[in-house]
Structure 1
Amino acid sequence: MASVIAPRLFIVAYLLTLAHHFVLGEKQYTAYNYGFDVHRRVRRQFAQPSTMIVMGNAATQAGDVQVRREIRELEQDREVWTLYLLGMSMMQFTDQSSPTSWYGITGIHGMPHQTWGGVRPTPGNEETGYCTHSSILFPTWHRPYLALYEQVLSNVIRMIATWWPEDQKQPYVDAAKRFRIPYWDWATYPPSGGSVLPMSVGGSPFVDIDGPSGVQRISNPLFSYTFRPLNTTAFRQAPWNTWSETLRSPTNWGPGAQSNNSMVAMTIDQNQRSLSQRLYILFSNYGNYSRFSNNAWIPFVNNASYDSIESLHDTIHNLAGGGGIGQLNIRGGHMSFIPYSAFDPIFFLHHAMVDRIFAMWQTLYPQSWVTPTTAVLNSYTTARGQVQDSRTPLTPFFADANGAFWTSDSVRDFTKFGYTYTELTDLASPRKAQAGVRRAINRLYGASSPANMFLRELRAQGIKGGRGRGGTSRAGQQSSQHSPAGGVASNMEGAVEGDSYREWIVNIRAKKQALDGPYSIYFFFGTPPSNKEDWAQAENHVGTMGVFAADGAGMGGMMEAMKELEVSGTVPLTTGLIKAVQGGELEGLQPEEVVRFLRERLVISVLGPEGREFGVSEVKGLKLSVGSFRVRLPGSEDELPVWGEEEGTFDLV
């Protein structure tokens, strides 16, 4: 009972803070008051041309590589956390005309479609951002982008640290040296009683901060970003030209809208298991960079590999922004729309997580890298049809004062930017590093994986699970007599054969702009609730794939190509099937039983813009199929499952 009550108590806390936000109405919180004109100092420091060069953290030149920590862990380091909030706040209150202000840095990604650092657009691409979506460069482009943000924020933080009184200054000066931007781990189980969405990010629009001039209540820089001023010349279309701050799951589609972070928290919490499984599968089954890196469906490249880090990333954008989660007449907040997403402070937390996944993946598969691939979309400086490779400039990120840009090859070693991650602190021995990464993956993301569920049950019954010498295992030899999951022995016959089991996955192909905005594809075993806002929390909800899209006004230079672009992703079914066996809905996991069950009970619905429900036949270009794979069980915590080729598929649409 406690495990059920705790999340509800957390959501109550979210609702209370949200109610407080409503009561406060239009109250605007301010920046920290240091007692002098801080922005004059900021302008003077960042007026230097060197601020446009992405050099990594300044301490890197001395060989100082620091760890990027999960945001909840960073909160426990009081001095660093204080500096982080003060630094973000200062960036957000810096004049928007500065290229190193919050507006200037986040505007690189999409809106307001302005030139940064003098890097001019390719003619005809003026109404797009620099970001390379659905591209072989998707993971590598974001690496120097994050490094630029980290560099600017670190410089601000180092400056702030010197403003404490002399007898209090040193702990903050030391803390500034070890600061690196945090990431938000949306795939692991949250602390007991908590939500996947941290309270520091979605709990309150204000925060009490103990800075150089004492405790003050300031605007929470993780909750939202307020435009000062709102650029209605660039943001021409409603509601973007009426929303003066970034919103998540907005309460309405008009000028008075506010964030509904409780809805975001509940929706992400209910999708956490599916997100974790998708990530676990990416680590164990996607060893080819071309397939891992991006969501563009390219025949003869993807083959049976439908998922990607970009597709998983897209689902988080939709969930965090509130796009396609069933709210009537609401299309979602800033994070759900490509052109506006970077303005939301959660964007960099999310993308630091994506970079961490990328860095861990690199450690597992060091030989696979960027191969020449034709771009399917325009960006501000690249054209559709252009061949992109590992030497393509990652614009607008300068690597030196001579005008050279970073490339995928030059960002391959992430430590040159002065950061690493906890799982990657010992890279001297590749073999040990890989074993350490696999242990971390199993610990953080393996709990809900069917492979580990089977192993836990087998070991609980005193049976040695996993691979033994010669590729066999005692677990496999006796699997027909034992229950690999949840203590349902007789119904699990056939689940584990030899040293392997069978995974079932929905493969999805969809037109990115099929509904002219972000949408989500929901999968249920049986009929979904009548209230669409309850879909994500439904007991029979199996998983969701989000399609990260744009509105008509935000991507003028890309819209024609985006309307034809096919993207792909997956939703794992096996854990849901195990649950169906445990609940008596499914007789067993033999292939013929599973196929019959899926044909009879799998229900698919699409939630599009404004909370409207679409049938699968109404979504242009939507293609769905179910694939099955034999997966070999890991033999230890140092190993991951080994996936075989797809053995059988059948079409749903």
Structure 2
Amino acid sequence: MVSCNWATSALLALLSVSSAGVHAAPQNYQPNPDPVNEKRQKLQTLVSDLVPVTRVPVTFVTINTARTLEPTFTRVPTLNTFTRVPTLNTFLTLATTRIPVTLQTLQTTTSSTLPVYTPPTTPPYGYTPPGTTTTSSSSRTTTSSSRTSSSATPTYTPVTGANNTCYNRLKIDVLQRTDPDQFNMLLLAWQKIQTSPDSDPFSHYQLSGIHGAPFIPWQMGPGSYDYSQGYCTHGSALFTTWHRPYLLALEQSLFHAAHAIANQFAPAAVRTQYLNAAGRVRLPYWDWSDPVTQSYLPPITMQQTVTVTRPDGSGNPVSASISNPIFAYNFLSSSSISVFGAPWNSRLSTRRYPDGSWNDRSNLASSAMQSGFSTRVTNTYNAFLSTTYNVFSNRVEGVHDSIHGAVGGGGHMSYVAYSAFDPIFWLHHCNVDRLMAMFQATSPGLFVTPASAVGTFARPVPPNTIDDASTDLFPFRRADGSWYKSSHLNPVSTIWGMRYGYPEVPCSYQTRTPAELDTFTTNQVNTLYGNGRTIPGTSREWNVRLLIDQAEIPGGYDIYVYGGTRPQDPYADPYGKGYVGSLSSMSMGSVDQYKQSRIRFVDISLNSYLKEYGYGQADPYKITEYIRRDLTYTIIANGKPCYFQDLYTARYAVYSRDVYDSGKSDVLPYYTSDPYYHTNVTEGYPGGIKYLDEILYPVKVDGTREVPWAENNSTRIQT
């Protein structure tokens, strides 16, 4: 296992490019004579190599004399090259991992703007233990004034959203243009919760902290907690579903804050006007794949101040300029951030692409986002062609990850533990939720299926634990006091019960049939992201798949793909001309923290790139030869160069797949073939696959294998 944290001048120089297009190491760089064996030797002592002493220790049992049973293979043709298909696969299983945890309870401060929920006196009780305490030979005790043990049941407010009628969440620029009163109340409400005390569970501070830092319970009693991470379920089959009640909690806070402010207006007619507007307050979204606004940051998110209408001391409406609550979040005091790790414990405002003086450069974030627009649209569209919900969720999460990196640029959005403090996080994730709702509408028979669990703050998990639709989505409770589960969020009509919809899954369809909604939403998907498709027939979708075990490199890292051209210095300008896409793994909060072992992958469409350079209609032989010569790959880990030849689990593959499109606006295209993996493009080059099993059964850091995309082994047939 390696860190890729080299800092020599030779490694920071611009690297030459091999004939495969993979960035080669400098001439004075000596690769390991037998990198696979060396990596396996390192894996025998994972505790000392992998876990910094300041983090939660993870103990791996040493693998003794057990051996991997090598698979046998059958050579089968895949279009223009032969690949090997495994006919027998028996692999080592992961030894038991023990994660030491400590007990903690929440300070039971109630919200200043929301009603307090009284737990029922009969089952389900107000508090359910969040997990089972595990033990380890390596343990630590966490002591803090905010981390004390108590048997008291916490006081909490359930997450129910707005309590009036159903209104659609709108694209933020559409909301600003078409409903200025609602937008005005949204700004006032967001300012109010941003200035609410840190102790308020429904303040911007505490709601944002659920995602990561400061790593404390939110409306939960004593339990088994992992203080190295937040509640979020990144890299999990629950990624999309967990964020739905999370967004609902903020929307609930904004809704109640807006009503409190509207009630201050006078006279009665004005009060009624703004109460009606407050009733419509819903969280807006930023559609980063919209063909009209493309991927640019919404202009309102880059304005430091904004003009609003608010009540004066007598309730009369007056115009005022305020700090824009959608531009940045200003922490209330140094004590708010004193519990954060460095350098975040000295940053009193969120920033995007900050310079050395911590000035915001959102314009650079907007430019970085635009550079990947064409591919992002196709990747978004292709997510709707997924034949399982889990693969859809992974595809959307892959797009989502790259946006965090492009928007953050070293600021808060680049780090899992701190990203939710930047207000644009919520607009970004609202769009993820919108895509989830649209997929539920167009594929009503598909939903979360069992998959390997990912540990969170409230749910440390041992190996072989499963996440499924019945897994508790801590820390969010429903109106009856029970924990949210993914099953509570299906079918898509459940969002209307939470009092919101989207233009593509509108509240107005509550009385329509699922089939009618499917037709309507499918039409919207094709119109928005189908790139003008009108001609029926079969075409080929070209992709590059990037994968890595996210535990192999600490901190944050990205694998970038460039085509046609590339930035003169990709380390200084990773989103420059030629950027096609990337696999992004955000830092948990520090450069020395490893993530839980899990294969992460992303499929990046190459069709827009091929079309741009004149290969859109070329035959497969010319395309594969062009891709082999032209595509380049760059790995940046924590701001420094990293190389495929130094990584045990990082791989890339090029594949194509036949897609049939009826040309009808109310029907989505569908796959008519398994993927063709073009190993002639990648074999012989660092990180490139030579055999099919390298991509279908990728190796994890401990030598075991994971199969995260079973749908690629079957063909979907649709009549």
> TM-score, with normalisation over the residues of structure 2?
0.69
Percent sequence identity is 29
* 8 Å contact from structure 1 (residues 112, 234) kept in 2: no
* 8 Å contact from structure 2 (residues 306, 321) kept in 1: yes
Which of 294, 309, 315 pairs up with 1:210?
309
User: Hey, what's the Cα distance between the residues in 1 that align with 2:295 and 2:448?
Assistant: 36
Residue 581 (structure 2) pairs with residue 543 (structure 1): yes
In structure 2, relative to structure 1, the CA distance for the partners of 1:376 and 1:146 (3 Å cut) is closer
Which of 581, 602, 614 pairs up with 1:569?
602
In structure 2, relative to structure 1, the CA distance for the partners of 1:236 and 1:147 (3 Å cut) is closer
In structure 2, relative to structure 1, the CA distance for the partners of 1:523 and 1:94 (3 Å cut) is same
User: Hey, what's the Cα distance between the residues in 2 that align with 1:129 and 1:522?
Assistant: 27
* 8 Å contact from structure 1 (residues 225, 343) kept in 2: yes
- Aligned twin of 1:244: 348
Deviation at 1:293, TM superposition (A): 2.3
Read off the aligned partner of 1:229 and give its amino acid letter.
S
In structure 2, relative to structure 1, the CA distance for the partners of 1:104 and 1:541 (3 Å cut) is closer
Residue 645 (structure 2) pairs with residue 617 (structure 1): yes
- Aligned twin of 1:471: none
Read off the aligned partner of 1:106 and give its amino acid letter.
S
Residue 618 (structure 2) pairs with residue 579 (structure 1): no
* 8 Å contact from structure 2 (residues 653, 677) kept in 1: no
Read off the aligned partner of 1:577 and give its amino acid letter.
L
User: Hey, what's the Cα distance between the residues in 2 that align with 1:130 and 1:358?
Assistant: 20
* 8 Å contact from structure 1 (residues 122, 381) kept in 2: yes
- Aligned twin of 1:604: 633
* 8 Å contact from structure 1 (residues 510, 622) kept in 2: yes
- Aligned twin of 2:619: 590
Which of 644, 652, 660 pairs up with 1:632?
660
In structure 2, relative to structure 1, the CA distance for the partners of 1:363 and 1:595 (3 Å cut) is same
Deviation at 1:316, TM superposition (A): 1.3
- Aligned twin of 2:266: 165
**What pairs with 1:463-612 in structure 2 (closer than 5 Å)?**
465-466=535-536, 499-532=537-570, 533-538=572-577, 540-552=578-590, 559=593, 561-562=595-596, 564-581=597-614, 589-610=618-639, 612=640
Structure 2 counterpart SS, 1:169: helix
In structure 2, relative to structure 1, the CA distance for the partners of 1:251 and 1:588 (3 Å cut) is same
Deviation at 1:216, TM superposition (A): 1.6
Structure 1 counterpart SS, 2:656: strand
Read off the aligned partner of 2:343 and give its amino acid letter.
P
- Aligned twin of 1:175: 277
Read off the aligned partner of 2:585 and give its amino acid letter.
V
User: Hey, what's the Cα distance between the residues in 1 that align with 2:426 and 2:657?
Assistant: 35
User: Hey, what's the Cα distance between the residues in 2 that align with 1:587 and 1:45?
Assistant: 56
Which of 406, 431, 434 pairs up with 1:353?
431
- Aligned twin of 2:399: 312
In structure 2, relative to structure 1, the CA distance for the partners of 1:90 and 1:620 (3 Å cut) is farther
Deviation at 1:118, TM superposition (A): 2.3
RMSD of aligned Cα (Å): 2.3
User: Hey, what's the Cα distance between the residues in 2 that align with 1:179 and 1:587?
Assistant: 45
* 8 Å contact from structure 1 (residues 183, 352) kept in 2: yes
* 8 Å contact from structure 1 (residues 504, 628) kept in 2: yes
In structure 2, relative to structure 1, the CA distance for the partners of 1:620 and 1:206 (3 Å cut) is farther
* 8 Å contact from structure 1 (residues 111, 234) kept in 2: no
* 8 Å contact from structure 1 (residues 523, 542) kept in 2: yes
User: Hey, what's the Cα distance between the residues in 1 that align with 2:360 and 2:339?
Assistant: 19
Deviation at 1:58, TM superposition (A): 1.0
Deviation at 1:145, TM superposition (A): 1.1
Residue 175 (structure 2) pairs with residue 74 (structure 1): yes
Deviation at 1:543, TM superposition (A): 2.7
> Over residues 493-526 of structure 1, what are the superposed CA-to-partner deviations in whole Å (9 max), with x where a residue is unaligned?
xxxxxx2111110011023254433333222234
Structure 1 counterpart SS, 2:224: coil
Which of 674, 677, 687 pairs up with 1:648?
677
**What pairs with 1:258-277 in structure 2 (closer than 5 Å)?**
258-277=359-378
* 8 Å contact from structure 1 (residues 190, 196) kept in 2: no
- Aligned twin of 1:114: 216
Deviation at 1:344, TM superposition (A): 0.8
Residue 514 (structure 2) pairs with residue 415 (structure 1): no
- Aligned twin of 1:438: 522
Deviation at 1:206, TM superposition (A): 1.4
User: Hey, what's the Cα distance between the residues in 2 that align with 1:205 and 1:375?
Assistant: 41
User: Hey, what's the Cα distance between the residues in 1 that align with 2:382 and 2:442?
Assistant: 13
> Over residues 536-568 of structure 1, what are the superposed CA-to-partner deviations in whole Å (9 max), with x where a residue is unaligned?
241x333333222324379xxxx5553x33200
Deviation at 1:72, TM superposition (A): 0.6
Residue 362 (structure 2) pairs with residue 220 (structure 1): no
User: Hey, what's the Cα distance between the residues in 2 that align with 1:44 and 1:131?
Assistant: 25
User: Hey, what's the Cα distance between the residues in 2 that align with 1:397 and 1:571?
Assistant: 33
User: Hey, what's the Cα distance between the residues in 2 that align with 1:189 and 1:441?
Assistant: 12
Read off the aligned partner of 2:396 and give its amino acid letter.
I
User: Hey, what's the Cα distance between the residues in 1 that align with 2:216 and 2:647?
Assistant: 33
Residue 150 (structure 2) pairs with residue 48 (structure 1): no
In structure 2, relative to structure 1, the CA distance for the partners of 1:522 and 1:45 (3 Å cut) is closer
Deviation at 1:642, TM superposition (A): 1.5
User: Hey, what's the Cα distance between the residues in 2 that align with 1:249 and 1:511?
Assistant: 27
Residue 275 (structure 2) pairs with residue 197 (structure 1): no
Read off the aligned partner of 1:48 and give its amino acid letter.
V
Structure 1 counterpart SS, 2:345: coil
Deviation at 1:233, TM superposition (A): 7.0
Read off the aligned partner of 2:350 and give its amino acid letter.
T
- Aligned twin of 1:429: 513
User: Hey, what's the Cα distance between the residues in 2 that align with 1:208 and 1:373?
Assistant: 48
Unaligned runs of 5+ in 2: 1-109, 119-155, 313-317, 683-687, 689-719
User: Hey, what's the Cα distance between the residues in 2 that align with 1:138 and 1:278?
Assistant: 18
> Over residues 227-281 of structure 1, what are the superposed CA-to-partner deviations in whole Å (9 max), with x where a residue is unaligned?
11234776453211111111111113xxx31221011000101111111110100
In structure 2, relative to structure 1, the CA distance for the partners of 1:372 and 1:119 (3 Å cut) is farther
Deviation at 1:187, TM superposition (A): 0.8
* 8 Å contact from structure 1 (residues 513, 550) kept in 2: no
User: Hey, what's the Cα distance between the residues in 2 that align with 1:230 and 1:553?
Assistant: 23
**Greater percentage in helix:** 1
* 8 Å contact from structure 1 (residues 516, 551) kept in 2: no
User: Hey, what's the Cα distance between the residues in 2 that align with 1:531 and 1:375?
Assistant: 39
User: Hey, what's the Cα distance between the residues in 2 that align with 1:368 and 1:230?
Assistant: 47
> Over residues 59-118 of structure 1, what are the superposed CA-to-partner deviations in whole Å (9 max), with x where a residue is unaligned?
1xxxx2110101011102111011000000000001111111111111111110111112
Deviation at 1:311, TM superposition (A): 1.5
Residue 445 (structure 2) pairs with residue 367 (structure 1): yes
> How many residues align structurally?
520
In structure 2, relative to structure 1, the CA distance for the partners of 1:382 and 1:400 (3 Å cut) is farther
Read off the aligned partner of 2:296 and give its amino acid letter.
V
- Aligned twin of 2:705: none
* 8 Å contact from structure 1 (residues 133, 377) kept in 2: no
> Over residues 388-416 of structure 1, what are the superposed CA-to-partner deviations in whole Å (9 max), with x where a residue is unaligned?
22222211111135x31111111222222
- Aligned twin of 1:399: 478
- Aligned twin of 1:229: 333
Read off the aligned partner of 1:355 and give its amino acid letter.
D
> TM-score, with normalisation over the residues of structure 1?
0.75
User: Hey, what's the Cα distance between the residues in 2 that align with 1:69 and 1:130?
Assistant: 27
Residue 422 (structure 2) pairs with residue 339 (structure 1): no
User: Hey, what's the Cα distance between the residues in 2 that align with 1:239 and 1:634?
Assistant: 54
In structure 2, relative to structure 1, the CA distance for the partners of 1:526 and 1:218 (3 Å cut) is same
* 8 Å contact from structure 2 (residues 115, 157) kept in 1: no
